[in-house]
């Protein structure tokens, strides 16, 4: 195939990717969109295989590598639990970044072996894609390790960390700049130094970030991998890579900023704030002394729920940990059958990545029409008889509205404290993921149902049936 014909043959792929993203605007068409994206990808692979006459050995290596990688990806995608989705995304993102860096390495090695200098824009693209791809690979692997519990979940900080990180990045950038500007453009060890510096930076920059902020980091690294793929498009002179990579780069950046916005924090604060590590004294403005917690029983809660007109369920990550999604749905069905209006209030950062809770509830066959976003449901709390908070904490903490000393001050929250009664299902009085005290638990309209979320819900189901 001629180069022009190839470029033309890649166009349907570009259209398919754009439509795939566009169709994600509605849950009705989202799946079709993703399948369209997959078809676009298959087409791009076919066009690439047809465009040059590779030798048998080349096809063989491509096929074996593809089958091995594809099998790993397929098995991982089928086996992963929905609660573990964030680390799966981190892993798939990391391998993409790694592939970009390896492609850059080979491109450099081959082009440096030819007489004459590499064209400036191609060597620039090699340097950028190797740098960002390596950072993305190493950072994603650490993010995966943290979420999987292989690396400490809490932020790891040490003295001189920021200076050290900047130095590592500078090593990478300097090595790249020497390649680009100097006469030693053909020295592959310079590129290896650049990659090593970028890998070390990727590790060091994710280590100090707490598990609660990991989704933001993954989203950022996702955008980085996209960007590096776009750079690879400049080095290989392929528009399909430039467009697809940059689509991911820019949409990923927007998504990252939206996530930060939902937590009312700047991206810089997330990356450099070491959140979850300094909160020991958080919220000093109000102490808990003299406040009492009202503990309740499943029977009492069942009566409240059964005779309510309107119940809003506020699920948090604790629900997912307890694997209680299906039981919650059963409870909701029981209440609905009694004529109670039941809805779910989903905070944008509930779960361990944005929209994670929606996936977990969808898995339990909760229709998405019952899942209400924060802005849509907040006005309904004053008319709500019972808000049932299950394993959520920071996203219902009124300190975010009122206590300017709280680390989460300013974060938009679900206004459950405005409903007529609040029942909190919680294992113990331990503070949540971010380690912040929650005054909702001490409010007079709040009662606490202590215990494992799944046990408590099973007890509630039995009690509601007995009412």
Partner 1 sequence: MSGNTAVFLAELTVLILAIFLGIEVISKVPTLLHTPLMSGTNAIHGIVIVGAILITGANLHSTLAQIVGFFAMVLASANVVGGFAVTDRMLEMFKGK
In the region spanning residues 167 to 226, those forming contacts with partner 1, defined by CB under 8 A, are 218-219, 222, 225-226
Q: Is 354 in the site for partner 1 (CB under 8 A)?
A: yes
Binding flags for partner 1, 6-35, as an x/- string (CB under 8 A): -------x---xx-xxx-xxxxx-xx-xxx
Annotated catalytic residue: which of 213, 333, 385, 394?
394
Q: Is 394 a catalytic residue?
A: yes
Written as one string, the DSSP assignment of 331-382 is: HHHHHHHTT-EEEEEE-TT-SSSTTHHHHHHHHTT--GGGEEEHHHHGGGGG
Smallest separation (angstroms) from partner 1 to the CB of 134 = 12
Q: In what order do the strands lie in the sheet with 371-373?
A: 371-373, 341-346, 310-315, 386-390, 421-426, 446-450
Q: Is 233 in the site for partner 1 (CB under 8 A)?
A: yes
1, 82, 173, 177: which one binds partner 1 (CB under 8 A): 82
Site string for partner 1, 102-141 (x = CB under 8 A): xx-xxx-xx--x-----x-x--------------------
Rule CB under 8 A: is residue 300 a binding residue for partner 1? no
Using the rule CB under 8 A, give the single segment among 43-51, 172-180, 270-278, 287-295 that binds partner 1. 43-51
- From the CA atom positions of the chain, what is the Rg in Å? 26
Q: Does 336 bind partner 1 (CB under 8 A)?
A: no
Determine if 54 is a binding residue for partner 1 (CB under 8 A).
Answer: yes
Q: Give yes or no for residue 238 binding partner 1 (CB under 8 A).
A: yes
**Is residue 77 within 8 Å of residue 88, measured between CB atoms?**
yes
Residue (of 390, 391, 317) closest to 360 by Cα position:
317
DSSP 190-232: HHHHHHHHHHHHHHHHHTTS-GGGHHHHHHHHHHHHHHHHHHH
Q: How far apart are CA 268 and CA 257, in angstroms?
A: 11
For position 383 contacting partner 1 by CB under 8 A, the verdict is no
- The DSSP annotation for 224-268 comes to HHHHHHHHHHHHHT-HHHHHHHHHHHHHHHHHHHHHHHHTT--HH
**3-state SS class at 8:** helix
Name residue, tokens 């754009």.
Answer: 18
Given the DSSP bridges, would you call strands 341-346 and 371-373 parallel, antiparallel or unpaired? parallel
Among 9, 44, 214, 440, binds partner 1 (CB under 8 A): 44
Closest approach, Cβ 356 to partner 1, in A, equals 5
Q: How far is the CB of 137 from partner 1 (least distance, A)?
A: 8
Under rule CB under 8 A, residue 49 binds partner 1: yes
Per CB under 8 A, which region of 142-150, 286-294, 357-365, 403-411 contacts partner 1? 357-365
Give yes or no for residue 4 binding partner 1 (CB under 8 A): no
Number of residues that bind partner 1 (CB under 8 A): 116
Q: Round to whole Å and give the CA distance between 31 and 22.
A: 11
Q: Report in angstroms how near the CB of residue 201 gets to partner 1 at its nearest.
A: 20
Catalytic residues: 394
């Amino acid at each position: 195939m001629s180069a022009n014909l190839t470029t033309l043959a890649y166009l349907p792929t570009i259209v398919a990717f754009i439509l795939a993203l566009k169709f994600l605007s509605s849950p009705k068409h989202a799946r079709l969109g993703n399948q369209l994206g997959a078809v676009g990808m298959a087409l791009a692979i076919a066009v690439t295989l047809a465009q040059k006459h590779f030798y048998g050995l080349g096809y063989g290596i491509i096929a074996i590598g593809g089958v091995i990688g594809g099998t790993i990806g397929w098995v991982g995608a089928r086996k992963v639990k929905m609660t573990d989705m964030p680390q799966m995304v981190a892993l798939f993102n990391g391998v993409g970044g790694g592939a970009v860096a390896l492609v850059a390495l080979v491109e450099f090695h081959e082009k440096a072996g030819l007489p004459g200098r590499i064209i400036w824009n191609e060597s620039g693209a090699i340097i950028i894609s190797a740098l960002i791809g390596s950072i993305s690979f190493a950072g994603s692997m650490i993010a995966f390790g943290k979420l999987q519990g292989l690396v400490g979940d809490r932020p790891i900080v040490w003295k001189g960390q920021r200076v050290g990180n900047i130095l590592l990045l500078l090593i990478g950038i300097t090595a790249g700049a020497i390649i680009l500007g100097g006469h030693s453009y053909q020295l592959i060890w310079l590129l290896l130094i650049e990659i090593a510096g970028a890998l070390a930076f990727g590790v060091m920059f994710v280590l100090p970030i707490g598990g609660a902020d990991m989704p933001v980091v993954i989203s950022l690294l996702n955008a980085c991998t996209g960007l590096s793929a776009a750079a690879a498009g400049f080095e290989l002179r392929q528009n399909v890579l430039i467009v697809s990579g940059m689509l991911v780069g820019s949409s990923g950046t927007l998504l990252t900023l939206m996530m930060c916005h939902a937590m009312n924090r700047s991206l810089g604060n997330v990356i450099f704030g070491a959140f979850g590590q300094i909160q020991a004294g958080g919220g000093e403005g109000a102490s808990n002394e003299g406040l009492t917690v009202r503990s309740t029983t499943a029977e009492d809660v069942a009566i409240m729920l059964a005779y309510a007109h309107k119940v809003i369920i506020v699920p948090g990550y604790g629900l997912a940990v307890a694997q209680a999604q299906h039981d919650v749905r059963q409870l909701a069905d029981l209440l609905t059958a009694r004529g109670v209006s039941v809805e779910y209030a989903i905070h944008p950062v509930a779960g361990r990545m944005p929209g994670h809770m929606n996936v977990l509830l969808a898995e339990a066959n909760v229709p998405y029409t019952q899942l209400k976003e924060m802005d849509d449901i907040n006005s309904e709390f004053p008319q709500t008889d019972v808000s049932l908070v299950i394993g959520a904490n920071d996203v219902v903490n009124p300190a975010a509205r009122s206590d300017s000393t709280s680390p989460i001050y300013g974060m938009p929250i679900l206004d459950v404290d405005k409903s007529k009664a609040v029942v909190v299902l919680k294992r113990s009085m331990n503070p949540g993921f971010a380690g912040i005290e929650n005054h909702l638990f001490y409010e007079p309209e709040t009662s606490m149902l202590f215990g494992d979320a799944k046990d408590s819900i099973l007890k509630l189901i039995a009690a509601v049936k007995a009412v």
